[in-house]
Amino acid sequence: MWMRSIVTVVAVVALLTSCGVGTTSDTAAGARSSGPGAGSTGPLAEPEPSSAELCPDSLPRASKATYGFGDDGPAATAPSLPVPHRAWICRYDPRDIATRADAAWFEWVRQGRPRPLDDAELATFSSAVEGLRPASADRACTADLGPRYLVAYAEGSELTGVVVDAYGCGDIRLTDDPSATVPGEPRRPGTVAGVLQGPVGFLGALDAGRGG
């Protein structure tokens, strides 16, 4: 009787194997061979955006009617942006591209290379992103000119750029594609068009003077 039982078990195992159903040891081996670190890299990570995507050579030009600064009207609402896990900062200096001596039209040209924010700077920037709000309509600004700083980051497939004027009122404008969308004119849900303001002095906390 016991010999008949052994023969029956062997026959069942053989039948399961021939039908493509592995034994327990086969299943465990398959799991080991297909798991992370054993011939597999696990879930694919999102590709890191290139420097050209994060910080193009020049920012998209704003209308000549705005002298290249972009519309200065306050945003209608505060944005709702993803919290950055990594971010890069780039400096852009103005260049007058007007063709007439009595006119001015600025574009913004990158200086140096993108620099990743360190942990302390990233924490400061994340707080600033959460605190962005529409700019005051009656704000008073100095009539000077200086650089702009773009802080860019990616979450999933979405790029976000926060462009901060290091002069005048320190206006802040968003772009949903730093290489294609004029700052202040984004359309992606969560972003807002127009001018924003953030915590006083947060740009200095990002060590904006340190080159990339």
pLDDT tens sequence across 136-162: 988 878 888 999 999 999 988 889 999
Mean pLDDT of the chain: 80
Pair (80, 144) in one structural domain = yes
- Altogether, the residues listed in the chain come to a count of 212
Residue 41 is assigned to a structural domain of this protein: no
pLDDT digits (tens, 9 = 90+) for 16-26: 344 443 433 33
* Cα pseudo-dihedral 63, 91, 140, 132, rounded to 10: 90
Pair (194, 110) in one structural domain = yes
- pTM for the whole structure: 0.76
Domain that residue 89 falls in: 51-205
Q: Provide the token pair at 130.
A: 């959460």
- Look at residues 207, 194, 212, 10 and name the one whose alpha carbon lies nearest to residue 111: 212
Residue 32: what pLDDT? 34
Residue 161: what pLDDT? 96
Is 80 exceeded by the pLDDT of residue 177? yes
Pair (26, 57) in one structural domain = no
- Kindly state the average pLDDT of the residues 30-40: 37
- Look at residues 22, 53, 12, 39 and name the one whose alpha carbon lies nearest to residue 177: 53
Pair (83, 163) in one structural domain = yes
Percent residues over pLDDT 70 in the chain: 75
Pair (173, 75) in one structural domain = yes
pLDDT digits (tens, 9 = 90+) for 79-88: 999 989 999 9
Pair (119, 147) in one structural domain = yes
Residue 44 is assigned to a structural domain of this protein: no
Question: Exposed, middle or buried, 192 (CB in 10 Å: 0-12/13-18/19+)?
Answer: buried
Residue 212 is assigned to a structural domain of this protein: no
| Number of independent structural domains in the chain | 2
Pair (89, 143) in one structural domain = yes
Residue 83 is assigned to a structural domain of this protein: yes
Residue 38: what pLDDT? 41
- Look at residues 197, 192, 194, 156 and name the one whose alpha carbon lies nearest to residue 176: 192
Q: Provide the token pair at 175.
A: 């772009």
Pair (72, 156) in one structural domain = yes
